[in-house]
Structure 1
């Protein structure tokens, strides 16, 4: 097949990345904007050795779970941000659970029975599927218009409104429909914090210029107020921070006097919650490499003397023994690429009784799970959360403990 070629095909199973799988004359086709069981007219967008990518540009026989996307930009050739707007809400949760299950088996080495025992599922968060995203970064095209990128492309699609953006962000005079132009910017970052702060930052040549709102925004989570630079990382779903903290505490059950590590700790969300549980007789060590995250953690956790903030890469802190055991509880919240085998081995060597692994990518989680299992650990529990409705992304919290899976 060639790019731009159109072909009728029948869609089969769900695949990671917001795709479904089809086959044409033995050729594997990863199809977006489709559902399993559908017959569609697909247009080839990329040709690779061994597979092609395509968009379903017309639906010839629709699946029962198909709905009309609420956003006019969530279509082939337009915005690439929302992968699943054509999928009914409950079916989106089943879609994501199927992807998680497949990665646990293919990469994590679990079997069907183990997945059944875990009860792999994905839970919706309060607030619905639209208007939830509290941080939106718009790209800017050559004409100075803000928009979002096409799928797997640097091409900017100017938009009038992003329906998954927080209502306060939707009202900002940022997009072309308001007459806004950004001739000097390469991106526009917007924030609507959980404590009511709204800010706009223009990004150009690595420099950020505050256009509107405070330089520091307030967030509320884990029974605390947080002060953060407007460009700092924070969970984008308003209910995400408390949901993840609740899952970590429930699964690990920190006890008074215990020692805990918060690895890739950011501003200290999990460290604060752990500190409250281990109390003044315990100890929490947070490790973070990003300078703004370290500064935010030291400022926001200054009232918790049992917390130490270490500015270092996690793998370096472990390998150079800046961070040493014994430790009781570890919270592991790595970037999308995962923690990696070296970090996993060093954690296991420190001898914790429990590790809460917070994962934003099921594939990376599966790869690291395989390492834990090879070292004699097991996945004792798993929670899945729909922190990113309408997209293919899913958040996991897994409880890993030492011991034989039998």
Structure 2
């Protein structure tokens, strides 16, 4: 136990403290506070230590009671993850995220803070308390067969009876009272447009367990099971066995319908798909007759409006590597002959597409790790005039900004949206244009 004065915010949900010259990354604090911390990682040879706030001696004016008991570090030694900013006012959360984004863009992105106008994080419409926005949830199961979550960098599971960030329709299913003995992981999903159907996915640890669990759910809840014999659905070797209802949800975004299977990727915040689609189309400005590549296209969220915009004389290449999500994209784009849906590694497919077509624009929404050097090199070699980049991680976005700038692009526009209230995460959109 140490007493430290917390300094600036750092990426990852930490504040920076120091003790006798040693840097400590502290969770559950607020810059400026005087706190007692419990060290969670303090190896003598480590470059820095990690700690959790255990007591607040001088509180920030922005501190509020945590909305979720299980995630409150002042009440629990191992608070569960997923709401690490829940003790901070929403307005100040966005201020701290803006500081993190600016620090990443200057340190990793190579931008000069004095010469560029880095944006502030924008609030997203919805509940004023920042709760109930998650349309997708993933839970572990403890030894007693109860839904559980773990603390940051911990394998220790804590039983939970609620998750206030989850969509109300998920919370209303009664899933926390079910016995999940024999189940390894439970996932729940609900459409952001139609909350009458909740899809429950059960990853079996023991064959036959999912069928027993399915019987416990209330009538009207769609239940499906992942059979992981020989692999998982994520790598294409698993098998989705429907136990009741259907194995997919229907989403509607700006008038277009999308079919999303249970294991398929979809934006988590109930407002995210509409917000991001609208902004991507406004920034990318697709025009009739253009050829556009949608990289890491998922289920075709951006590919569909891009295909509509380029029309029958244009062409859209929707590229995705995950097999289940790729299958969703094929269904969602089947009425657009101008869309070519391709499954494969982005860097390989992009090289082929760039050889065969003269691309006018690229839209990309990569995973949290961002794009790799090869993708940046292929984009630079293609000399495409504009790139609209959607990112869920400020560090990888900043690094990729430097990579693209090194390939002849400049960041013409950037905006950040608070699509993950009460967490340290944020969503950035950048428009890069060829110099």
TM-score class normalised by the smaller sequence: over 0.9
Structure 1 unpaired stretches of 5+: 1-5
Question: Of residues 2, 16, 24 in structure 2, which corresponds to 1:7?
Answer: 2
Map of 2:145 onto structure 1? 144
- What are the residue-to-residue correspondences of 1:159-178 with 2, within 5 Å? 159-175=160-176, 178=177
CA deviations 1:59-108 (Å, max 9, x no partner) are: 00011111111111122212111110011010111111111111101111
| Aligned partners of 1:259 and 1:328 also within 8 Å | yes
- What are the residue-to-residue correspondences of 1:220-235 with 2, within 5 Å? 220-235=252-267
Displacement of 1:318 after TM fit? Answer: 2.7
Structure 2 unpaired stretches of 5+: 206-227, 229-237
Question: How far apart, CA to CA, are the structure 1 residues paired with 2:82 and 2:322?
Answer: 26
| Aligned partners of 1:202 and 1:210 also within 8 Å | no
Question: How far apart, CA to CA, are the structure 1 residues paired with 2:350 and 2:263?
Answer: 28
Displacement of 1:181 after TM fit? Answer: 1.3
Farther off after superposition, 201-210 or 153-162: 201-210
Mapped pair 1:362 → 2:361: no
| Aligned partners of 1:338 and 1:364 also within 8 Å | yes
- Please give the secondary structure, in 2, of the residue aligned with 1:113: coil
Map of 2:342 onto structure 1? 310
Question: Of residues 43, 50, 54 in structure 2, which corresponds to 1:53?
Answer: 50
Question: How far apart, CA to CA, are the structure 1 residues paired with 2:425 and 2:67?
Answer: 19
CA RMSD of aligned residues (A): 1.5
| Aligned partners of 1:201 and 1:209 also within 8 Å | no
Map of 2:183 onto structure 1? 185
Farther off after superposition, 153-162 or 198-207: 198-207
Mapped pair 1:18 → 2:13: yes
| Aligned partners of 2:145 and 2:183 also within 8 Å | yes
Question: How far apart, CA to CA, are the structure 1 residues paired with 2:319 and 2:423?
Answer: 30
With normalisation by structure 1, the TM-score equals: 0.94
Map of 2:110 onto structure 1? 109
- Please give the secondary structure, in 2, of the residue aligned with 1:298: helix
Map of 1:120 onto structure 2? 119
Map of 1:3 onto structure 2? none
Question: How far apart, CA to CA, are the structure 2 residues paired with 1:145 and 1:322?
Answer: 50
| Aligned partners of 1:198 and 1:213 also within 8 Å | no
Displacement of 1:321 after TM fit? Answer: 5.5
Question: How far apart, CA to CA, are the structure 2 residues paired with 1:200 and 1:212?
Answer: 10
- Please give the secondary structure, in 1, of the residue aligned with 2:175: coil
Question: How far apart, CA to CA, are the structure 2 residues paired with 1:360 and 1:346?
Answer: 22
Mapped pair 1:385 → 2:417: yes
Mapped pair 1:279 → 2:311: yes
Question: How far apart, CA to CA, are the structure 1 residues paired with 2:243 and 2:59?
Answer: 46
Question: How far apart, CA to CA, are the structure 2 residues paired with 1:243 and 1:320?
Answer: 31
Displacement of 1:325 after TM fit? Answer: 3.9
Displacement of 1:209 after TM fit? Answer: 5.4
Question: Of residues 296, 312, 321 in structure 2, which corresponds to 1:264?
Answer: 296
Question: Of residues 21, 27, 34 in structure 2, which corresponds to 1:32?
Answer: 27
- What are the residue-to-residue correspondences of 1:129-140 with 2, within 5 Å? 129-140=130-141
With normalisation by structure 2, the TM-score equals: 0.87
Map of 1:198 onto structure 2? 198
Give the count of matched residue pairs.
393
CA 1:212–1:9: 2 relative to 1, 3 Å: farther
- What are the residue-to-residue correspondences of 1:280-295 with 2, within 5 Å? 280-295=312-327
Question: How far apart, CA to CA, are the structure 1 residues paired with 2:120 and 2:372?
Answer: 25
Question: How far apart, CA to CA, are the structure 2 residues paired with 1:123 and 1:209?
Answer: 41
- Please give the secondary structure, in 2, of the residue aligned with 1:157: strand
| Aligned partners of 2:376 and 2:407 also within 8 Å | no
| Aligned partners of 2:354 and 2:382 also within 8 Å | no
Question: How far apart, CA to CA, are the structure 1 residues paired with 2:80 and 2:410?
Answer: 40
Question: Of residues 64, 68, 71 in structure 2, which corresponds to 1:67?
Answer: 64
Displacement of 1:389 after TM fit? Answer: 0.9
Question: How far apart, CA to CA, are the structure 2 residues paired with 1:391 and 1:209?
Answer: 34
Displacement of 1:323 after TM fit? Answer: 5.9
Question: How far apart, CA to CA, are the structure 2 residues paired with 1:391 and 1:221?
Answer: 25
CA 1:210–1:43: 2 relative to 1, 3 Å: farther
Displacement of 1:231 after TM fit? Answer: 2.0
Map of 1:346 onto structure 2? 378
Map of 1:86 onto structure 2? 87
Map of 2:157 onto structure 1? 156
| Aligned partners of 1:201 and 1:210 also within 8 Å | no
